[in-house]
Amino acid sequence: MKKTYLLAPGPTPVPPEALTAMSMPIIHHRSPDFIPILESAKNGLKWLFQTDNVVLILASTGTGGMVGAVNNFLSPGDKAVVVRGGKFGERWSEICEAFGVLPINIDVEWGYAVKPSQVEAELKKDPSIKAVMIQASETSTGVLHPTREIGEIVKKYPNCLFIVDAITAMGVIDMPVDKWGIDVCITGSQKALMLPPGLAFVSVSEKAWKANESAKCNRFYFNFKKERKNLEKNQTNFTTASSLVVGLNSALSMMKAEGLENIFKRHERLANATRAAVKAMGLKLFAKESPSLALTAIEVPEGIDGGKLTKIMRDKYGVTVAGGQAQLKGKIFRIAHLGYFNTFDIIIGISCAEMALKEMGANITLGKGVAAAEEILLKF
């Protein structure tokens, strides 16, 4: 008998409430029965994003939302500042190139956050820049970029949009989209929203809709203007992933019952406990600054094979954490704490890491990480 635990930064565990809702017979997405479901999901997303603007619902993963953010607001030849501080920063750059948008890359050493002044310098240098793209939380490194501060800067440029991949930030940290001046904000279903993958959500500001009028990138499946028009009537442009929308409502109900402030506090509590445990175990956080509240990236101790570590955690103990991606493969492991996570998910993750590392010969005192986590966890 194997009990499994999903502690990866997406997909995250789906609560039984949402699983049960999604296992009900399918509802036709154009039927009157579906209208209140879509309407409620639409309003719930506005609540979550803290925005008065529309939040579009797309039948794709988060990457589809990122693609739509590029090709609905920009034209071939446009310049965009891209913060590349990890694998997902690189993705912004690749999407731009795929559609003829010219990325001006700010390369940030992985594990560090971009400095707002770096973004400002680029904008001052070239007033024709049409967008700034960042990750609010760079999932590959576990680092938060300074979204609020960059938003303040971009606000000063009337022809420049602030496009934020908030895929592992929305519903984790307090990120009031309107207040922070985020013109296009993207998240996905399989992160803090506690659902299976298959939906992307994108908020769009009035400034961005204005840019949409002249944006010439090719688009069809991700046509935001048509999505907005349909969503006004509680419809989607094409068929939506309707069972996931049903689950979305269930997840949003749970989140509303908890309240935004409590959600952010819970993530902070779990992140603090995880970080304290990591330090107590004598391990190093990979994030040298601004660690994300969504996940903790941990350096694999010298002499230990990172690939083997995550394999033992998974195969012997049933605990799925994430390894490192791209250049970080084998060098870090990542314990998530976003979405349907609470106290004992952290205890399980730390306890499992202690046992697996000990077994592999690392210098670990069993229980020390767990004790440090408990120290934090009992306080709230």
Residue 184 interacts with a copy of itself (CB under 8 A)? Answer: no
String of contacts with a copy of itself for each residue 222-241, x by CB under 8 A: x---------------xxxx
Query: Could you give the CA distance from residue 286 to residue 142 in angstroms, rounded to a whole number?
Result: 7
Give the shortest CB-14-to-a copy of itself separation in angstroms: 5
- 119 and 105 in contact (C-beta within 8 Å)? no
Count residues contacting a copy of itself (CB under 8 A)? 55
CA-CA distances (angstroms) from residue 72 to 181, 192, 376? 18, 25, 45
Q: Is the CB of 50 or the CB of 249 nearer to a copy of itself? A: 249
Q: Is the CB of 246 or the CB of 280 nearer to a copy of itself? A: 246
Task: Kindly tell me which residue out of 52, 159, 216, 221 binds a copy of itself, with binding defined by CB under 8 A.
Answer: 221
For residue 285, the number of C-alpha atoms closer than 13 Å in the C-beta half-sphere is 23
Query: Could you give the CA distance from residue 241 to residue 199 in angstroms, rounded to a whole number?
Result: 7
Helical segments of the chain, H only: 16-22, 35-49, 62-71, 87-98, 116-125, 147-154, 206-212, 224-232, 242-258, 260-280, 306-315, 343-359, 368-377
Residue 320 interacts with a copy of itself (CB under 8 A)? Answer: yes
Q: Label residue 272 left, alpha or beta by phi (over 0 means left) and psi (-120 to 50 means alpha).
A: alpha
Contact region with a copy of itself (CB under 8 A), list: 53-61, 158-166, 170-178, 294-302: 53-61
CA-CA distances (angstroms) from residue 254 to 34, 44, 48, 49? 20, 11, 12, 16
Task: Kindly tell me which residue out of 46, 115, 155, 219 binds a copy of itself, with binding defined by CB under 8 A.
Answer: 219
Give the shortest CB-281-to-a copy of itself separation in angstroms: 24
Q: Which of 157, 152, 172, 189 is nearest to 60 (CA)?
A: 189
Residues in region 13-42 near a copy of itself by CB under 8 A: 13-14, 19-20, 22-29, 31-33
String of contacts with a copy of itself for each residue 58-77, x by CB under 8 A: -xxxxxx--x---x------
Residue 94 interacts with a copy of itself (CB under 8 A)? Answer: yes
Residues that bind a copy of itself (CB under 8 A): 4, 6, 8, 10-14, 19-20, 22-29, 31-33, 59-64, 67, 71, 94-95, 98-100, 188, 190, 196-198, 217-222, 238-244, 314-315, 320
